[in-house]
Amino acid sequence: MAVVAIPKASEEATSAPTPTTQPNTITLRISRFNPSNDSLPTFAEFKIPVQKWTTVLEAILHVKQNLDHSIAVRYSCRQASCGSCGMKINGKPALACYTKISEIGSKVVTVEPMSNFPIIRDLAVDFKQLFSDHKKMKPFIMRDDSEITPGTKEFVQTPKDLEKFLQFSYCIKCGLCNSACPTMATDESFIGPQGLAQAYRYVADNRDQGKKDRLKIVDQSHGIWRCHFAGSCSHVCPKGVDPAMAIQLLRGYLMGFRK
Amino acid sequence: MRESIIMKIHYGTALAAVALVAVHILFRMTQKFSDSLSYQNVIANYHFLPYALMLEVVLILLSVHGFNGLRVILLELKQGVAYERAINYGSIAATVALVAYGSRTILMAGMGMS
């Protein structure tokens, strides 16, 4: 018969692990810039308590709730699904809700708006161009018939067909790839890795019949050929989309390597 | 012209230029470097028709590739309809001018007019 020894109250007190939830304090530097009033961005510094699970977005919201409510930041889902809270965290584009302060490994965390986007205010940037380029790629299945046309069946895909584009359909339009792209820094007409990756996502989909249209859109002087394959877009993508690979695969169609 | 055709020309000229410049370097290695640059040997190259033709092709390949590369860099630096048109036509004009000047040199040397 098994005997279970119940520890005495005094033993329990001494053997209990030390709580690890003691908050640390970090310095959060937030870029402040209002294009209508300021000529240059400045940094506001805040000392804030953080736990090991505190994300950068939670830290910013702590400042907003308790220290300075005027900070402009865009966020929504808090779980890396909506793509709203992209920003530069210690110089690297990342989602604030998906980046834990404990993982950054620094007592000073600097947050700035994403590069290559016009700043609306503080950390919020204008996504007009990103969404416009995304729309230009016709991000939908193009074909004459439809699955709901009488007499037609579901457009069945094999797992192999799905594999060709599935990875690229995980894009959440957060703009981090465009922010990290060195070409976008100088060429404001460049479609950008987000748009090009989406073009490939639909070109590679065997249900789609709009390949010719999309290839024509990307095959222009500020289109796919301006990518220098730096790969930084893929490096910063929080969803593992790998836009750099999509661009190379899309080039294959234009070079005649792929049909 | 569509950008994909321009870029195919760009990559094609690069590959062809590498191959032909390699042939050119191999020819130079058949003799001492100082001998290779002596006046008589240089003129002899231009008098040898296949070699002169190869130099002409190298000139065209490098001009097309080089000025298209410059066009791409300049288009990435700045944007604007008028600017881009000027860059596009300017690079074509520069290519034609350089090929014309280089061809003149090859022709004159080949015909013994230098």
Which alpha helices (DSSP H) does chain A contain, by range? 9-15, 56-66, 101-104, 128-136, 159-163, 176-180, 182-186, 192-203, 211-218, 232-236, 243-255
Asked whether the beta carbons of A129 and B79 are under 8 A apart, the reply is: no
Q: Do B4 and A254 touch (CB under 8 A)?
A: yes
3-state secondary structure of A143: coil
Q: pLDDT-derived band of residue A223, with 50, 70 and 90 as boundaries?
A: very high
Cβ-contact A98, A84 below 8 angstroms: no
Distance from CA of B53 to the nearest CA of A (A): 29
Quick check: B76 and A226 CB within 8 A?
A: yes
Q: What Rg do the C-alpha atoms of chain A give, in angstroms?
A: 24
What is the reported pLDDT for A13? Answer: 47
CB neighbour list of residue A77: distance below 8 Å, 6 or more residues apart:
A84, A97
Looking at beta carbons, which residues of chain A come within 8 Å of B8? 255
CB B69 within 8 A of CB B52: no
B-chain residues near A223 (CB < 8 A): 3
CA A189 distance to own-chain centroid: 21
pLDDT of residue A89: 98
Q: Does the beta-carbon distance from A255 to B8 stay under 8 Å?
A: yes
The answer to whether B67 and B95 are in contact (CB under 8 A) is yes
What are the residue ranges of helices labelled H in A97-255? 101-104, 128-136, 159-163, 176-180, 182-186, 192-203, 211-218, 232-236, 243-255
Q: The whole model's pTM is what?
A: 0.85
Number of H helices and E strands in chain A, helices first, is: 11, 7
| A196 contact partners, CB below 8 Å, separation of at least 6 | A137, A218, A223, A224, A227, A243, A246, A247, A250
Identify the residue whose tokens are 């994300």. A55
Return the pLDDT at A218. Answer: 96
What pLDDT is recorded for position B113? Answer: 77
Residue A2 tokens, joined: 């098994």
The per-residue pLDDT for B112 is 81
Average pLDDT of the segment spanning A244-255? 95
A247-253 average pLDDT score: 96
pLDDT at A255 exceeding the cut of 80 = yes
pLDDT in tens, B17-74: 999 999 999 988 888 888 888 888 889 999 999 999 999 999 999 999 999 999 999 9
Instruction: Output the six-digit token pair for A123.
Output: 């950390």
- The domain containing residue B75 runs over which residues? 3-110
Q: State both tokens at A256.
A: 């005649």
Higher local confidence (pLDDT), B107 or A4 = B107
Q: Give the gap in angstroms from C-alpha A219 to the nearest C-alpha of chain B.
A: 6
Q: Which helix (H) or strand (E) holds A43?
A: strand A42-50
Give B72's contacts in chain A (Cβ within 8 Å): 225-226
What is the least distance, in Å, from the CA of B80 to any CA of chain A? 9
CA-CA distance, A151 to A167, in Å (whole number)? 32
What mean pLDDT value characterizes chain A?
A: 91
- Find the mean pLDDT for residues A36-51: 95
pLDDT at A156: 84
CA distance A119 to A177: 17
Residues 6 or more apart whose CB falls under 8 angstroms from that of A101 comprise A26, A50, A54, A55, A56, A59, A109
Residue A257 touches partner B, C-beta closer than 8 Å: no
For Cα atoms A204, A186, A223, give the angle at the middle one, nearest 5 degrees.
Answer: 25
- pLDDT computed for residue A7 by the predictor: 54
Domain A128-255, CATH class in plain words: mainly alpha
Interface test with B, best of A214, A221, A225, A253 (most B CBs within 10 A): A221
Listed by start position, the domains of chain A span 24-125, 128-255
CATH number at residue B74: 1.20.1300.10
B32 shares contact with chain A (CB less than 8 Å): no
Instruction: Evaluate whether A253 touches A205 at the Cβ level (below 8 Å).
Output: no
Yes or no: domain A24-125 corresponds to CATH 3.10.20.30 = yes
Determine whether A19 is exposed, middle or buried from the number of CB atoms within 10 Å of its CB (0-12, 13-18, 19+). Answer: exposed
Which residue in A186, A219, A220 is closest to B76 by CB distance?
A: A186
CB A174 within 8 A of CB A243: no
Hey, is the C-beta of B74 within 8 angstroms of any chain A C-beta?
A: no
Beta bridge partners of A100: A55
What pLDDT does A155 receive? 84
Q: Is A229 on the interface with B (CB under 8 A)?
A: no
Q: How many domains does chain B have?
A: 1
Whether A188 has its CB under 8 Å from any CB of chain B: the answer is yes
